Amino acid sequence: MGPIILAIESSCDETSASVITNGKVLNNIIATQAIHRKYGGVVPELASRAHQQNIVATVHEAIESSGISKTDLNAVAFTRGPGLMGALLVGVSFAKGLALGLKIPLIEVNHMQAHVLSNFIEDPKPDFPFLCLTVSGGHTQIVLVRDYLDMEVIGQTQDDAVGEAFDKAAKIMGLPYPGGPLIDKYAQEGNPQAFKFPETVMPGFDFSFSGIKTAFLYFLRDEKAKNPTFVEDNLRDICASLQHHLVNMLLHRLAEASAKTGIKNIAIAGGVSANSGLRKNLKMMGEKRGWKIFIPAFEYCTDNAAMIAIAAHHKFLKGDFCSLDVVPLARMPI
């Protein structure tokens, strides 16, 4: 029988817990923090407070619904970083307390490695090596994955993350936070060719999304000067065109990385991998180029503890535990 591990995620605005036995995820309990919506973005101090309110019930539910007893646990895992310091601290401290009380080892997990490993929660699972486009509210990376815990970032954004570009564009249009899923929803009924936006091309496999945000702001300002109800009149076409543009920027780079490395196993991960345009266009591109595509189920795209559990399982097998002195890291390279 393989290890039974409890994993905790608290890096941003989801409090999540998951139990994994012998590499099989049993559940994935998520408490989403609705409080940030009215502020138009995640407020770090409120996130930390909400984690404190949610963590006991979330962990309790994960243990209860898995049918195990907490004394069956062989280890406790947690997200060490990257993330919001106050938010991370809640998960780290809770995990330490539990490990100490149960006299079991602690496992620290890198949140971005875990996003990549969300592709191993369900079948089909990628073969090594593969490339993973990890796209979230805080990151945009192309990761070369040699093994479960052997990864290298070969391209990344030099400024905003693509999720940030989605969210900021939505905010400019007056849509509530987080705007990414709303842009996706309206885009499905719009014309992706209606409007064109400029692309910033960076060296290597890097990205830049700050230019598009400014271009989008000026585009709307100019159009609204001619027609004050431009956004309301064209919401679906604007969303479809912007989404098409952002997805193309991602996929062009991914195609270059695949051509240069010769790797045709291609995965995506992170919150923006829930985007329907990205999923659809990636599949189309994959068919054309002979790629094998791996896309996590929706619930494993955004922040969740199941992906932390997968990473923890592989760290457990290697005996990679951490001490009770461990501290969270707001920045933590893969």
Contact set with ligand KG4 (CB under 6 A) = 12, 136-138, 163, 166-167, 178-181, 184, 270-272, 274-275, 302-303
Is 191 exposed, middle or buried, given 0-12, 13-18 or 19+ CB atoms closer than 10 A? Answer: middle
Dmax (CA) for the chain in angstroms is 68
Q: Using the rule CB under 5 A, which residue among 10, 136, 157, 275 binds Zn ion?
A: 136
Q: Given the structure tokens 């996706």, which residue do they identify?
A: 184
Instruction: Give how far Cα 300 sits from Cα of 16, 22, 110, 210, Å.
Output: 11, 19, 16, 27
Q: How far is the CB of 115 from Zn ion (least distance, A)?
A: 6
> Which of 35/263 has CB closer to ligand KG4?
35
Contact region with Zn ion (CB under 5 A), list: 46-54, 92-100, 245-253, 300-308 = 300-308
Q: Using the rule CB under 5 A, which residue among 15, 18, 303, 308 binds Zn ion?
A: 303
The site partner of 167 among Zn ion, ligand KG4, none (C-beta below 5 to 8 Å per kind) is: ligand KG4
> Which of 244/279 has CB closer to Zn ion?
279
> Which of 5/87 has CB closer to Zn ion?
87
- Cis ω for the linkage preceding 181 (within 30 of 0): no
Q: Give Cα 123 to chain centroid, integer Å.
A: 19
The site partner of 192 among ligand KG4, Zn ion, none (C-beta below 5 to 8 Å per kind) is: none
> Which of 167/303 has CB closer to Zn ion?
303
The site partner of 163 among ligand KG4, Zn ion, none (C-beta below 5 to 8 Å per kind) is: ligand KG4
Q: How far is the CB of 10 from ligand KG4 (least distance, A)?
A: 12
What number of residues does the chain have?
334
CB count in 10 Å sphere of residue 333: 10
Q: Which residue is nearest to ligand KG4 (CB)?
A: 271
> Which of 106/161 has CB closer to ligand KG4?
161
The site partner of 180 among Zn ion, ligand KG4, none (C-beta below 5 to 8 Å per kind) is: ligand KG4
Using CB under 5 A as the binding criterion, the count of chain residues that bind Zn ion stands at 2
Rounded Cα distance, 162 and 250, in Å: 9
Q: How far is the CB of 136 from Zn ion (least distance, A)?
A: 4
Binding site for Zn ion (CB under 5 A): 136, 303
